[in-house]
Amino acid sequence: MTNLLLEWIIKTLVILLILVTAVAYVTLMERKVMAWIQMRVGPNRVGLGKFKLWGLMQPLADGLKMIFKEDIIPLQANQWLYVLAPAISLVPALMTFIVIPYGSEITLFGRTIELHVTRLNVGLLYVLALTSVGVYGIVLAGWSSNNKYSLMGGLRSSAQMISYELALGLSIVSVVLYSGSLDLVEIVDAQRGFHGLAWNIFHYPLLILVFVIFYIASLAETNRTPFDLPEADSELVAGYHTEYSSMKFVMFQMAEYLNLITASSIATTLFFGGWNGPSVGRLPFLGPVYFTIKVLALIFLAMWIRYTVPRFRYDQLMRFGWKFLLPASIVNIIISSTVILFTR
């Protein structure tokens, strides 16, 4: 019991450290990709002393800068909720990752260690539940700042997340129907075989359509362009975090990038075989490598979309969510159920 507890604590800490570092470097990746798409160089100066290291120390410098910024709480703001809001948006974002498997199992110091923190038989619902709780951070930030732009950002965000959560949840149903489980570990295990390429998306070609719906909905859930209306710069200054500064602002940014990482990980797990890949059965340590590569590819896709697609108008966003994505995902469930009924 104590050993198991220790293992959990160590795994959780390692995941936490990796996630926080990953968030820092995803921001650097975002700036580099943006620069590349816009034919610029991007941050390339911050290194160790004389060595520039292609700007790899930029996240560290950014972090230090943000810590030493002045922490401002507006006088007319609701003090309690203003301080609480960044935490509410960051904590669920960090919590989602414990159910995502990132490898099969490896032997370390004579112990067999499964490469996932824990498994729940409702793992997928757990992730959905946490994403739906995360919206409160944004909504409360918008309300407690006592600023019109912030309030507009918060309201838009809650409306957007309610609308797109439906399409997100319904698109996942098809995958659950094929896999027969809500446990993410089992969903990945079902995709083993055929030289590690029996991924859901190859196995069931219909899922390509589902993946497109899922990906669009998850972009909207993570408030990324073309769905970044809650923080539309040209209309709302910075939306819900207009009044925030210093580490509170960083916490919102971290939550946003964490959500991006989580969404990409879930997409990898559901559609692209999780940690499965060629010869992963013989070399288990390749699991996390494949997983990371796939997640990074999906994150790159999100960035690519961000810097090449213009922002939606608000009514277009709502119409698209309710009148296209939602019916499309319901039709998908019907087709998937019919296919399963006649093939099994």
Partner 1 sequence: MGQEKLLFIIFAVIAIASALNILLQRNPLYSALSLIGTLVALSALYVTVRAEFIAAVQIVVYAGAIMVLFVFVIMLLNAPGNQLQLERQKGLRYLAIPFAGLMIAEMFYVVLSIRLSTLPPVPAANAEQAVGTTWSIGTSLFTDYLLPFEVTSVLILMAVVGAMVLARREGE
Contacting residues toward partner 1, per CB under 8 A: 120-122, 125-126, 128-133, 135-136, 139-140, 142-143, 151, 154-155, 158-159, 161-162, 165, 169, 182
- In angstroms, give the least distance from the CB of 143 to partner 1: 5
DSSP class of residue 116 equals S
Q: Interhelix angle for 58-67 vs 2-37, to 10°? A: 100
Checking DSSP bridges between strand 111-114 and strand 105-108, what pairing results, if any? antiparallel
- Residue 107 dihedral angles phi and psi, to the nearest 5°: -105, 125
3-state SS record for 190-241:
CCCCCCCCCCHHHHCCCHHHHHHHHHHHHHHHCCCCCCCHHHCHHHHCCHHH
- In angstroms, give the least distance from the CB of 252 to partner 1: 18
- In angstroms, give the least distance from the CB of 121 to partner 1: 6
Of 136 and 204, CB closest to partner 1: 136
Cβ-based neighbour number of residue 242 at 10 Å: 21
- In angstroms, give the least distance from the CB of 77 to partner 1: 14
Of 139 and 261, CB closest to partner 1: 139
Asked, as a colleague might, if the bond just before 86 is cis with ω within 30 of 0, I would say no
- In angstroms, give the least distance from the CB of 160 to partner 1: 11
- In angstroms, give the least distance from the CB of 311 to partner 1: 22
Of 62 and 221, CB closest to partner 1: 221
Burial, 39: exposed, middle or buried (Cβ in 10 Å; 0-12, 13-18, 19+)?
exposed
Of 126 and 211, CB closest to partner 1: 126
Q: In the chain, what is the greatest distance between 2 CA atoms, to the nearest angstrom?
A: 66
Of 46 and 340, CB closest to partner 1: 340
Please give the angle made by the CA atoms of 275, 278 and 281, to the nearest 5 degrees. 70
- In angstroms, give the least distance from the CB of 151 to partner 1: 7
Give CA–CA dist 76/56, Å, rounded: 40
Candidates 227, 226, 37, 241; CA nearest to 138 is 241
Give CA–CA dist 120/182, Å, rounded: 8
Of 57 and 140, CB closest to partner 1: 140
Of 121 and 308, CB closest to partner 1: 121
